[in-house]
Homo-oligomer: A and B are copies of this chain.
């Protein structure tokens, strides 16, 4: 009797049991928190914030980006972008060049210092992700039950979390498991 209606049929549908997926939802929160935590701290020393990081990141990795493209990527208003972009340009981390085919465009590039700074930030984030891929945290040694790819996603996300925090996250989620019974 497929209760076909909504969506998450924990029973027989090809989809995930809800309990495990709930864990993934929370792991995503914790993983993302730590994922942006490193750059946040590094940039704070320069007086920059996460918004500056996002601009630096995309300009560094996609040199020659236009303002419009950047706005579309970041999904913020041009006023919001302009505030942080102005900081970065004034401090010489980003430079603008007038577009050659369309002189209205301001193509964005990192300066030497901007590239150095951003490479540093990227290095830290890439390292965290690469390690999480290489050494996912095996959480459920029950093996065998990963037809769906939960354990893989769970191991990856848990490995993205700061090691000292993992115990706290695990014991929190164990608490839900208990109260479900």
Contact = CB atoms under 8 A, between A and B. Distances in A.
Interface of A: 6-8, 14-16, 18, 21-22, 24-26, 28-29, 32-33, 35, 54, 57, 61-63, 72-73, 75, 122-123, 125-127, 129-131, 133-134, 136, 148-150, 152-153, 156, 168, 172, 175-176, 179
12 contacts: A8-B123, A8-B130, A18-B126, A24-B133, A25-B126, A25-B129, A28-B35, A33-B75, A62-B172, A62-B179, A149-B156, A152-B152
A31 to B, nearest CB: 8
Copies of this chain present in the complex amount to 2
Nearest to A72: B168
Contacts of A29: 54
Given A175-B62, A176-B61, A21 B130 contact: yes
A2 to B, nearest CB: 15
